[in-house]
Structure 1
Amino acid sequence: MNDINADKTIRKVALIAVFTNILLASVKVTVGLVFKSMAVLADGIDTSTDILTSSTMLVATLISRRPPDKEHPYGHHKAENIGAKIISFVIFYAGVSLLVESTKRLITGQYEVLVGFWPLFAAILSVGGKTFLFIIEYTTGKRYKSNSMVAEAKNMRNDIMMSSLVFIGVALNKIGLAWMDPLVGIVMSGIIIKVAWEVFEENTHDLMDGLKDEEMWIYEKVFEACQKCGALNPHKVRVRKVGGKFDIDMDIEVSGEMNVRDAHEITKCIKKHLCETKEIYDVVIHVEPEANDEHEPFGLTKEAFEKGKKEKN
């Protein structure tokens, strides 16, 4: 599917998330205030932050899809990682605020038995709504390799657990265990802070141009393509992510007697083999004469890559 259709789908899902969160937040904050439920109110406040994170996700995905320009020759894909970073800070702030308030209420005894069906209804509605958002955001984010949407989906998964805890806490509160309301708030805050850290850590890795262990197969693909095409001593191989695709730089050696045209054909062959994966953003290959004596400290050689694999295993 082309980038235009991907943009439309991501924008549509992001707008659905914004409006769904507005509805859920309105219901939960209102019910929490009217019925004096700390757990429901906290869940509503958390969903209110989701409105901001969903909006941030929408803006980030729109920016990331812009084509390369003079100031950004590699494109704008890192905007999604920046958006995910912002989301992690918002989630963390909500978690810490909730932890402080819930702990204070539990210690001071500022809780009471809830009345009415509405607190339970708000929790059930939240579980259903958040499950719907998690499914559409996670599947869309994975399909179109949108980091910020996947981060937002993980936040939705977190919200499903929290709303379930709220339901349990409200149910136990209504049978006489009034202290369960702020206690659930404390548990929820721990989950929120944990998810915030996970989102922050994952996107820090991408912004630092690092690759996860499950992405290291691309190096094997590079060395395999070089061997098939007759390139000698592939080295200074460096791979980084641009959006959801791999940007590859490498040096190869060819016979010093080979003419420029034949050497160029080898680079074309390598690019052809690599681009079969459909996950390649760009490939840049520098050609050197065989046994070139030059100090080149960066990137990987095949030997260094194989040694690293053995050490990890």
Structure 2
Amino acid sequence: MERKQVVRRVGLVVLVANAALALAKAGFWLETGSLALGSEAVNSAADALYSAVVVAGLYLTTRPPDFEHPHGHERIEPFVALFVAVGVFGAGIGVIWTGTASLVEGSYAATSPLAAVVLGAGAIAKYGLYRYCLGVGEEHRSPALIATAKDNRTDVLTALAALVGAGGAAVGFPVLDPVAAVVVGGGILLTGVDIVRDNLDYLVGAAPPESLRDDIVAAALEQPEVEGAHDVIAHYVGPEVDVSLHIEVQGDLTIREAHDIETDVINAIREIPEVDDAFVHVDPKELGEWKEGKWRDEREGAT
């Protein structure tokens, strides 16, 4: 199945699941009056809201290249992920406010064990969504789905915290209910910070990990005629990487031979999953542009 079909399908599954969880938690919150369950209902409602935005964003990012966007639309994905972060921050602040106000006013009371049951079921559902989104997001290099996975991972932890609060309130310790709501809100805020940190590199064109640069150079040096590589620049353009580098070849090659080598190097680098495009400059090795400390071929006879 094509990438666009997969990520769109995941987005729809997450939207439906979050909407169902929000409705279920809200219904049982009205039934039990649990603040912890109410905070989780708000969290799931925020999840459903931003899931709708993610679905729209994934539709845009998976559109094919066109005249105005010759490299495709994948660069929209980090912005979608940041929108997820905004929704996460909003939900976290709201939940902390509600829990803190309840603690200050002393407006809490024992609740039904049913709240704990609902929160436990919600935690299980969120863990399933976390594993599902993370697997597809990593396989298809989707920042938006990875951000959604991390939000679901935190939802598992916050649901467990809310479960402790609701359970404590059910057995005679009602103060644990608003305390759990505040803990839930703090966990939600931490998720927002994590999502922002992950996606800033995509937006500012940061360099990828050094291991990827090594893979790029290795792909270039696998070509028999390439004797060295230098001035390697790799940077994120959205979730994918653009590469430029210089390669060294024998100076007596014909233009056609040099062109064929350049094409082979570009194709080899483009086969690296993280790479979107590569730009290669061919240097005669006799010019001595190679710099000490840079990459050079170690094959026998290379100088």
Query: Into which bin does the TM-score normalised by the smaller protein fall?
Result: 0.7 to 0.9
1:118 equivalent to 2:114? Answer yes
User: Do 2:220 and 2:269's aligned partners in 1 also have CA atoms closer than 8 Å?
Assistant: no
Match of 1:168 in 2: 164
Judging changes above 3 Å, is the alpha-carbon distance between structure 1 residues 204 and 105 closer, same or farther for their aligned structure 2 residues? same
Q: Shift of the alpha carbon at 1:30?
A: 2.4
Q: How far is the alpha carbon of 1:258 from its aligned partner?
A: 3.0
| Alignment partner of 1:224 out of 193, 215, 218 | 218
How far apart are the structure 2 equivalents of 1:84 and 1:211? 19
What is the match of residue 261 of structure 1? 256
Equivalent of 1:303, from 293, 296, 300? 293
CA contact (8 A) 2:75 2:238 kept: yes
**TM, length-normalised to structure 2:** 0.87
Q: Secondary structure of the residue that 1:68 maps to in structure 2? A: coil
In structure 1, the gaps of 5 or more residues are 295-299, 307-313
Q: Is the 8 A contact 2:230 2:294 kept in 1?
A: no
Q: Percent identity?
A: 24
Worse-matched range after superposition: 145-154 or 278-287 = 278-287
Q: For the Cα contact (< 8 Å) 1:64–1:75, is it kept in 2?
A: yes
**Separation in 2 of the partners of 1:302 and 1:153?**
43
Corresponding position of 2:235 = 240
> Which position in structure 2 is the counterpart of 1:181?
177
Task: From the superposition, tell whether residues 302 and 92 of structure 1 become closer, same or farther in structure 2 (CA, over 3 Å).
Answer: farther
Q: Give the alignment of 1:123-162 within 5 angstroms.
A: 123-162=119-158
Structure 1 window deviating more from structure 2 (123-132 vs 219-228): it is: 219-228
Q: Give distance in 1, aligned partners of 2:220 and 2:292.
A: 10
Deviates more, 1:245-254 or 1:142-151: 245-254
1:124–1:163 contact (8 Å) kept in structure 2: yes
* Of 82-91 and 230-239, the range deviating more from structure 2: 230-239
Change (3 A) 1:273 1:94: same
CA contact (8 A) 1:24 1:125 kept: no
Summarize the alignment of residues 287-302 of structure 1 with structure 2, pairs less than 5 Å apart. 287-290=282-285
Specify every segment of 5 or more residues in structure 2 that has no aligned partner in the other structure, as ranges. 297-303
Do the aligned partners of residues 187 and 305 (structure 1) sit closer, same or farther apart at CA in structure 2, a change above 3 Å counting? Answer: farther
Q: Give the count of matched residue pairs.
A: 295
Contact 1:146 1:243 (8 Å CA) reproduced: no
Out of 276, 280, 294, the residue aligned to residue 281 of structure 1 is 276
Aligned CA-pair RMSD: 2.5
